[in-house]
Amino acid sequence: MTAPHPRIGIIGTGAIGGFYGLMLARAGYDVHFLLRSEYEAVRQNGLHVNSAVQGSLHLDEVQAYRRAADMPKCDWLLVGAKSTSNPELAPLIVEAAGQDAKVVVLQNGLGIEDDLRALLPSNIHLLGGLCFICAHRSALGVVEHQALGGVNLGYHSGSAATPEQQQALVEEGVSMFRAAGVDSNAAANLAQARWQKLVWNMPYNGLSVLLDAGTAPLMANPDSRALVRSIMLEACGAASACGYPLPEALVDRMMTATDHMPNYLPSMYHDHAHGRPMELEAIYAAPLAAAAQVGFGMPKTEALLQALRFISMRADR
Amino acid sequence: MTAPHPRIGIIGTGAIGGFYGLMLARAGYDVHFLLRSEYEAVRQNGLHVNSAVQGSLHLDEVQAYRRAADMPKCDWLLVGAKSTSNPELAPLIVEAAGQDAKVVVLQNGLGIEDDLRALLPSNIHLLGGLCFICAHRSALGVVEHQALGGVNLGYHSGSAATPEQQQALVEEGVSMFRAAGVDSNAAANLAQARWQKLVWNMPYNGLSVLLDAGTAPLMANPDSRALVRSIMLEACGAASACGYPLPEALVDRMMTATDHMPNYLPSMYHDHAHGRPMELEAIYAAPLAAAAQVGFGMPKTEALLQALRFISMRADR
């Protein structure tokens, strides 16, 4: 590890920030949590992860803050909040960031680093983090961890000029997660890794909302299963058309992996069920726009987005 | 009129059979109704049509039957039941049909006459009827008529050998409806007319179920409106690919016509809401198969069918 005692800040706790923050703190890292709705509950009861993999985990003494200005300057910042709130988060990230801080965006979708980059000073290193985890928040300060848990990291932009410097920072993050018992790897190409994750996210997130169903019933019914597969193939094709070739065999690997997962309700399902905005821009609109720009059609994915936007607008009323 | 006093049988009352049967009976035609679930209610209270166009209409003395064997032999039979029950209806149609009877299928979708034809003796004339009406049944024997009301007729098959003989039978039906105050015209080509009607039915029927919405909200939201338009264009393209060219201008005409309709919940919405099977085969699967056979893709329509089949299977549990 190049930085043995980094100070870590978690921006936006929820399921993702809560899980990884707790894992890092339990491993002895100095972790600080910026909280909003969860502040009181976490101060009083700590953080809890009910893990089907690791059992019941808890962190009693949580270094929790309501305001970024009260946090100590952090070396690493993990952003676990929804991408829909990034414009409001950027000033808080800047406030909590130490000199040459590393900011890891643990969010789904395409283009989120580009959008956030424009709101951050150039000395801050921006990394993307791809979480492979089935988890959701069941109450304030309580995370249900159903399966998996890995994080892959890729460098996006910042003051690391050479590939070697960028790689060293990524490896530092990977080591930090591994030291906390979290499976982690360096992603050779962040954009490609983001597209690869979209191949999973694009069918399941939207269909869980549209059809009010988790992965198991979606995979058990031959028609929804075929629809999942079509959308995965559209995402694969779009990635390749955009210059990030993904093998079509990836689709069958992901289908098989999902067959072996417990029935899982993706984050968009929980967002919609709780009246929070859905990440339609990052998970659907941005990749559709990228594909359209290179003339690649994603008709079934587009139909899904159109239906989800209708649902989203009605939910807003 | 070539047959001044035809005897008319209505097979399956519901909204369509109830409306047209009542109109014909009020015009003095000898109309006989084969009823199942509605029998008791109609015997006791008659048939009622609450029409936003023609006011409150009722038929007190209804010639109603529980069994086709009890009906007098009819010259015309209007089939208003759902296409999903055609295999069970065929023997009843045969039983109620007089010599050289004309059977008019007042149903939506593609291929329904072909399927029914195989179950009828060759002397029976089979016609397709395309209803342009906003109506639904609100209670047993009670029909709400919101707008429109026309029926276009086309000859499908039977013992009329020449185009002139077929045309004469179609004109006879058209005259009968017109004498009852119903707008009616001969369809030059039944298959083309069926595709044209599908251009409207394919978006609105399925999306009303998927998004729990009538035509007005679907048209008011820019995303669902665009989705409606895409599906209409796919249907138009499929019709043309299948040899029944429809102008793309039809799509805008139908969009505008729907904008001027009252908020309408299509029949599939009511079928699903009341736990009845949806007409997925006739309205979606048959046209999709016809398009696939000539290599024409309808991806958004296919995605809609896949989602509807998931919903349908879950509703069956």
Q: Give one DSSP letter per residue of A123-160, joined into a string.
A: TSEEEEEEEEEEEEEEETTEEEEEEEEEEEEEEEESS-
- Cα A29 from chain centroid (whole Å): 21
Task: Name which of A202, A211, A215, A223 to mutate to probe chain B: the one with the most chain B Cβ atoms within 10 A of its Cβ.
Answer: A223
**Residues of chain B contacting A224 with CB distance shorter than 8 Å:** 306-307, 309-310
**Active-site residue B73, yes or no?**
no
Q: Tell me the Cα Rg of chain B.
A: 19
Per-residue model confidence (pLDDT) at position A82: 84
Contact A303 B306 (CB under 8 A): no
Per-residue model confidence (pLDDT) at position B1: 43
pTM comes to 0.90
Contact A218 B310 (CB under 8 A): yes
Q: How far A301 CA lies from chain B's nearest CA (Å)?
A: 9
**Residues of chain B contacting A303 with CB distance shorter than 8 Å:** 227, 230, 299-300, 303-304
φ, ψ for residue A128 (rounded to 5)? Answer: -100, 140
CA atoms within 13 A on the CB side of A155: 20
Give the residue from A20, A199, A171 showing the smallest Cα distance to A105.
A20
Contact A223 B309 (CB under 8 A): yes
Mean pLDDT, residues A193-208: 96
Give the residue from B115, B37, B145 showing the smallest Cα distance to B279.
B115
Per-residue pLDDT tens over the stretch B156-192:
999 998 999 999 999 999 999 999 999 999 998 999 9
Per-residue model confidence (pLDDT) at position A313: 92
Task: Name which of B310, B312, B314, B317 to mutate to probe chain A: the one with the most chain A Cβ atoms within 10 A of its Cβ.
Answer: B310
Residue A289 has pLDDT above 60, yes or no: yes
Nearest CA in chain B to A210: B210
The residue written with tokens 């807003």 in the block is: A316
Residue B123 has pLDDT above 60, yes or no: yes
The residue written with tokens 């007042």 in the block is: B106
Per-residue model confidence (pLDDT) at position A314: 87
Q: How far apart are CA B14 and CA B21, in angstroms?
A: 10
Q: Would you call A292 helix, strand, or coil by DSSP? A: helix
Per-residue pLDDT tens over the stretch A81-97:
888 888 889 999 999 99
Residue B66 has pLDDT above 90, yes or no: yes
Per-residue pLDDT tens over the stretch A28-43:
999 999 999 899 999 9
Residue A269 has pLDDT above 90, yes or no: yes
**Residues of chain B contacting A272 with CB distance shorter than 8 Å:** none
Mean pLDDT, residues B235-249: 95
Give the residue from B240, B253, B250, B251 showing the smallest Cα distance to B287.
B240
Alpha-helical regions (H) of chain B? 14-26, 39-45, 86-96, 112-117, 163-179, 190-210, 215-220, 222-241, 249-259, 267-273, 280, 286-293, 299-316
**Residues of chain A contacting B305 with CB distance shorter than 8 Å:** 223
Give the residue from B120, B115, B84, B82 showing the smallest Cα distance to B100.
B120
Task: Name which of B215, B223, B305, B309 to mutate to probe chain A: the one with the most chain A Cβ atoms within 10 A of its Cβ.
Answer: B223
Contact B223 A299 (CB under 8 A): no
**Residues of chain B contacting A209 with CB distance shorter than 8 Å:** none
φ, ψ for residue A311 (rounded to 5)? Answer: -60, -40
Per-residue pLDDT tens over the stretch B26-57:
999 999 999 998 999 999 999 999 999 889 99
Average pLDDT across chain B, whole number: 94
**Using an 8 Å Cβ cutoff, are B17 and B33 in contact?**
yes
Contacts for A54 with CB less than 8 Å, ≥ 6 apart: A145
Mean pLDDT, residues B234-244: 97
Average pLDDT across chain A, whole number: 94
Per-residue model confidence (pLDDT) at position B207: 98
* Residue B105 tokens, joined: 């299928």
- For residue B224, give the nearest of A299, A300, A310 by CB distance: A310
**Residues of chain A contacting B226 with CB distance shorter than 8 Å:** 306
H or E segment to which residue B47 belongs? strand B47-51
Per-residue model confidence (pLDDT) at position A308: 98
DSSP-assigned letter for residue B262: P
Task: Name the catalytic one among A73, A82, A197, A300.
Answer: A197
Q: Can you name the residues that pair with B36 across neighbouring β-strands?
A: none
Show which residues on chain A lie within 8 Å of chain B, measured between beta carbons: 207, 210-211, 213, 217-218, 221, 223-224, 226-227, 230, 299-300, 302-307, 309-311, 313-314
Per-residue model confidence (pLDDT) at position B2: 45
Contact A226 B306 (CB under 8 A): yes
Contact A224 B310 (CB under 8 A): yes
Confidence of residue A1 (pLDDT cuts 50, 70, 90): very low
Contact A300 B305 (CB under 8 A): no
Mean pLDDT, residues A171-183: 96
* Number of A–B residue contacts, CB under 8 Å: 78
Residue A2 has pLDDT above 80, yes or no: no
**Residues of chain A contacting B213 with CB distance shorter than 8 Å:** 310, 314
Per-residue model confidence (pLDDT) at position B316: 65
Alpha-helical regions (H) of chain A? 14-26, 39-45, 86-96, 112-117, 163-179, 190-210, 215-220, 222-241, 249-259, 267-273, 280, 286-293, 299-316
Q: How far apart are CA B246 and CA B182, in angstroms?
A: 26
- For residue B299, give the nearest of A211, A217, A300 by CB distance: A300
Residue A4 has pLDDT above 60, yes or no: no
Interface ipTM > 0.90? no
The residue written with tokens 């079928």 in the block is: B271
